[in-house]
Amino acid sequence: MFALRPDRFPSASAAGGAGQRSGTPDARAEPPATVEVFVDGIPVRVPLGASAAAAVLLADAPLIRETPVFGAPRLPYCLMGVCFDCLAEIDGIANRQACMVPVVPGMRIAPQRGARVAFRP
């Protein structure tokens, strides 16, 4: 779905990237609309309609959560709501599956560290 990061490979996106085979995007087509979100405070542009987990992967973040017991780093894995390795704090709400949440402009995605906090006073 996302061939290359346009901010890292501008020549590839301008040249058409993957080529002109049938079923691939046309080089002359408009690039997809993007939105800016923040992954652990770092701005990253993500295609509109992508998930927060995709934003994490596009940002090259080292982790999106740490396991509660050992603090092992995790990144999104299945991208379909099964593994729960993408639990994150999104716009201040902890314990959300980032792969199930579409990005919106200005979204703030922060790693979830340790056990979730059920209630905040």
Which residues of this chain interact with ligand FES, rule CB under 6 A?
Answer: 53, 76-79, 81-86, 97, 99
The number of beta carbons lying within 10 Å of the beta carbon of residue 120 is 7
Minimum distance of ligand FES from residue 95's CB (angstroms)? 12
User: Which residue pairs from 70-78 have beta carbons closer than 8 angstroms and sit at least 24 positions apart in sequence?
Assistant: 71/113, 71/114
Minimum distance of ligand FES from residue 38's CB (angstroms)? 19
CB of 27 or CB of 93, closer to ligand FES = 93
65 and 85 in contact (C-beta within 8 Å)? Answer: yes
CB of 35 or CB of 56, closer to ligand FES = 56
Minimum distance of ligand FES from residue 68's CB (angstroms)? 16
CB of 10 or CB of 68, closer to ligand FES = 68
The sign one gets for the Cα dihedral 42, 47, 51, 53 is negative
